[in-house]
Chains A and B, each alone.
Chain A
Amino acid sequence: MDELKLYTYIAVFGTFALYFGIAWWARAGSTSDFYVAGGGITPFQNGMAIGADWMSAASFISMAGLIAFLGYGGSVFLMGWTGGYVLLAMLLAPYMRKHGKFTVPEFISDRYYSKTARIVAVICLIIASVTYVIGQMKGVGVAFSRFLEVDYDLGLVIGMVVVWVYAVLGGMKGITYTQIAQYCVMIFAYTIPAVFISLQLTGNPIPQLGLGSTLADGSGVYLLDKLDMVVTDLGFKEYTTANMGGTLNMFAYTMSLMIGTAGLPHVIMRFFTVPSVQAARQSAGYALVCIALLYTVAPAVGAMARFNLLNTIEPVAGQNLEYAERPQWFKDWEKTGLLKFEDKNSDGKVQYTADKATNEMVKVDRDIMVLANPAIANLPNWVIALVAAGGLAAALSTAAGLLLAISSSVSHDLMKGVFVPDMTEKNELLAGRVTMTVAILFAGYLGMNPPGFAAGTVALAFGLAASSIFPALMMGIFSRKMSGTAAVAGMIAGIGVTMLYVFQHKGVMFIPGTSFLGDMGPNWFFGISPNAFGSVGALVNFAVAFAMLKVTGPAPSEIQDMVDHMRVPGNVSAAHAH
């Protein structure tokens, strides 16, 4: 076994042992422990747990890669996935905490006095969460197969067992404390390579400052100016100004991600775990601190990875890398098929340009940027091992949070709330654990046999949250008169418009060939891409709900009193079931 593999085994299995230890220490004894960790998590602990829950394999592995290749256009992810926390802190979290229930569908059913509303909310939640879980499971499989060279399926099974142990045993309590540990692993794994690389390139150890500094080669040229120059010379769009589909598209995309973030149930339910309304507001702040630590480093990681990649291939303009002398990481990633070279002009050298006819780097997968980054920068092996453990922590922590959201909506909202109202607490706890086991098996199965539409569904998850859940919750708090029928009509209209738009461009249920208006820019409504359409769906939701309110008349007075009660903190009791 070589040194890198040994370090990787130590890092990965060492962190797993830590998660198991925490799970045993924090196992759940009651439904309150299982759903909301007994309501006793401090805001700072909750902030770290939300950070780990929120930052998935996509944030850890994919985002910096997207930014590396999109440049300025990648800003939609940075602003979109952080700005939602402002909305959560001011528009949703404190009032939903005051109301004091376990789940998002339960809140919707109380506020809109309707079991139909609850069932619609459960369906949105399950679709949004399942699509997410598949991505995490795939992330676990990929990380294992790349770093430990075990079979993809075996890696997936190991991941499933680990999540099962601590999620089923500990519920929200176990998950929260494990996520705190996972957050620490993840943030170290992300920032340490970034600090090293920033130091190498600019002499400044803080990546956020390094990105705005001059290069350490003595030329006195700013890193970003040099990067702009190099990419435009190769025919790519200028890094710091490259737009993504026009200003309106970027606007709609950012807005969709922001309100989608605020509407994702697995994030909202974390605010039910703190002891007071004040703590709920503070939690949102601490959560954003934890998230911002990674999200403000990501642009530096992206830009520096792109810079290093181009610099390796063409260190001096016109003097390209000899293919025979390519570095070890180049060979490693070629083996995975995520990096492909084709010597089109047979000169034995690597040419990487924007022109399809002469470009010889025929495949550079965006997802490899973060994972390959430490090797590209010649960092020591223990740093690479740490990145592997960090990627796994990101995928596992998000998977656990989502599985809890799914199991609580089935056991608490569907079984206890709608079908078996007289279930005892002990049976409900058992039902929660059984549901979670089934959900893990289902997610694992889908991870091994990913449906063809898996990639497209992430857009649908955000679209659903943005166009249905967020408007329903916000109107429930800020409009006392909003009636149940009007809100349900709004939700259905919002989802309907969003799904129709996604399907008409991406194919019905993402089956290729069934799209009735091709997936091409010119056919898009005002140039808005399907991924960005959730914000339009949300507008439709608000419009339909307020129009229907005129028809149905206002909500009953006891509901309006409930809303009044929700708006003012005072005498908050712990989260309870009734």
Chain B
Amino acid sequence: MENKETYWSENLRLIFICLAIWFAVSFGLGLLLVEPLNAIRLGGYKLGFWFAQQGSIYSFLVLIFWYGAKMNKLDKKYHAEG
């Protein structure tokens, strides 16, 4: 396939975006910034605590499906289904 290089670099860009968000919601909001975030409330949850025990997991789910959908489009564009 002639466009292998561009396919791969588009994939790498997507992975980079996803992993930046992956890091931000878990290590960022759930760990490093937990204290300032805990000042904000989400119902009975302190927001930092919520990210550590709930929000990060929901974000991971959205990330995986979003990446999968984006990659399916990319596969179609480069005729790389299979």
Contacts and interface: CB of A to CB of B under 8 A. Distances in A.
Interface of A: 67, 72, 74-75, 78-79, 82-83, 85-86, 89-91, 94, 208-209, 211-214, 222-225, 240-241, 247, 250-251, 254-255, 276-278, 281-282, 284-285, 288-289, 292, 295-296, 299, 564, 567-572
Given A75-B30, A296-B57, A568-B78, A90 B15 contact: yes
13 contacts: A75-B30, A78-B57, A79-B26, A82-B56, A82-B57, A83-B56, A222-B43, A225-B44, A241-B34, A278-B68, A282-B68, A569-B82, A570-B79
A213 B50 CA distance: 13
A490 to B, nearest CB: 21
B40 interface: no
A240 B46 contact: yes
B82 to A, nearest CB: 4
Given A254-B26, A564-B4, A570-B1, A82 B60 contact: yes
Nearest to B8: A567
Contact of A214 (B35, B44, B58): B44
Contacts, number: 140
Interface in B1-43: 1, 4, 7-8, 11, 15, 18-19, 22, 26-27, 30-32, 34-35, 38, 42-43
Contacts of B4: 564, 567-568
A225 B45 CA distance: 9
B35 to A, nearest CB: 8
A223 B53 CA distance: 15
B45 A79 contact: no
Most A CB atoms within 10 A — which of B45, B46, B53, B72? Answer: B53
Interface string B49-67: 1101110111011011101
A90 B56 contact: no
Shortest 4 CB-CB contacts between residues of A and residues of B: A222-B44, A75-B52, A212-B43, A570-B80
A83 B52 CA distance: 11
Nearest to B18: A90
A212 B57 contact: no
Contacts of A78: 52-53, 56-57
Most B CB atoms within 10 A — which of A72, A255, A296? Answer: A72
B82 A570 contact: yes
A72 B49 contact: yes
A288 B26 contact: no
Given A75-B53, A89-B68, A281-B71, A569 B81 contact: yes
A90 B19 contact: yes
Contacts of A67: 53
A568 B80 contact: yes
Contacts of B26: 79, 83, 254
Most B CB atoms within 10 A — which of A254, A295, A568? Answer: A568
B8 to A, nearest CB: 5
Contacts of B30: 75, 79
A249 to B, nearest CB: 11
A571 B82 contact: yes
A539 to B, nearest CB: 15
Nearest to A213: B44
A241 B60 contact: no
Nearest to B50: A212
B57 A89 contact: no
Most A CB atoms within 10 A — which of B43, B61, B68? Answer: B68
A225 B38 CA distance: 13
A79 to B, nearest CB: 5
B49 A240 contact: yes
Given A89-B67, A568-B80, 12 more contacts: A83-B56, A86-B19, A212-B42, A212-B43, A240-B38, A278-B71, A285-B68, A288-B60, A292-B57, A568-B7, A569-B75, A572-B82
Nearest to A81: B57
A306 to B, nearest CB: 14
A74 B32 CA distance: 15
Nearest to A564: B4
A223 B30 CA distance: 20
A45 B19 CA distance: 26
Contacts of B78: 568
A288 B61 contact: yes
Given A288-B61, A567-B4, A83 B22 contact: yes
A54 to B, nearest CB: 14
Contacts of A225: 44
A240 B40 CA distance: 13
Given A211-B44, A284-B64, A299-B54, A86 B1 contact: no
A255 B56 CA distance: 14
Contacts of B71: 94, 278, 281
